[in-house]
Amino acid sequence: IEAEGQLRLQQRRLDQYEVKAPFDGWVSDIVTEQGASLTRDDEIMQLIALDPLEAAFDLPDTTYGRLRVGDKLPIQAGAPLDGPLTAVVDRIVPRIDPGSRTYRAVLTIENPQGQLPAGFVVTLDLSAAPPLASTDTPAAQSDRATPRR
């Protein structure tokens, strides 16, 4: 009976040290050493998800407004794939960086069988994007409220 109690105690202790990934993926790097003393917030490994893959682009401000979430765009994959793929606009950051005059767009590439590796280079040709809608009213970020009169 004492041995069963010890077994339960040791199992509870072991359960405290179980590491669970927040998503299905692959361990790409282990960044700690066996036997190292860790805290709850220490990074121990890097995980990668292969479906979907993401490609982030910093695009020129002159193209802002041409892409919409959900747009399907052709992209060109570099080595080792060297071929065309289709990506979907997942999100567009609604801020233009004043220094670089660019904004970020993130596209996803479906990869259900995990055949595409993470990390390959892709090129986006914006000529396939819808034309820029014209507007006469520029928008600006305001850091203060305008008083009402």
Kindly report the backbone phi and psi dihedral angles of residue 14, in degrees, each rounded to the nearest multiple of 5, phi listed first: -65, -40
pLDDT attached to residue 143 = 39
* Residue 107 confidence (pLDDT): 95
Give pTM, 2 decimals.
Answer: 0.69
> Strand order of the sheet with strand 53-60?
53-60, 102-109, 83-92, 72-77, 122-124
| Nearest-5° Cα angle at 136, 130 to 139 | 85
Q: What's the CA angle centered on 81, arms 77 and 86, to 5 degrees?
A: 45
DSSP states along 68-133: -TT-EEEEEE-TTT-EEEEEEEEEE-S--BTTTTEEEEEEEE--TT--SPTT--EEE-GGGSPPPP
Instruction: Give the pLDDT of residue 126.
Output: 84
pLDDT in tens, the chain (149 residues): 788 888 998 888 887 777 788 888 888 889 988 888 888 788 888 888 889 999 999 999 999 999 999 999 999 999 888 999 999 999 999 999 999 999 999 999 999 988 899 989 999 988 877 776 443 333 333 333 333 33
Bridge-based pairing state of the strands 122-124 and 83-92: unpaired
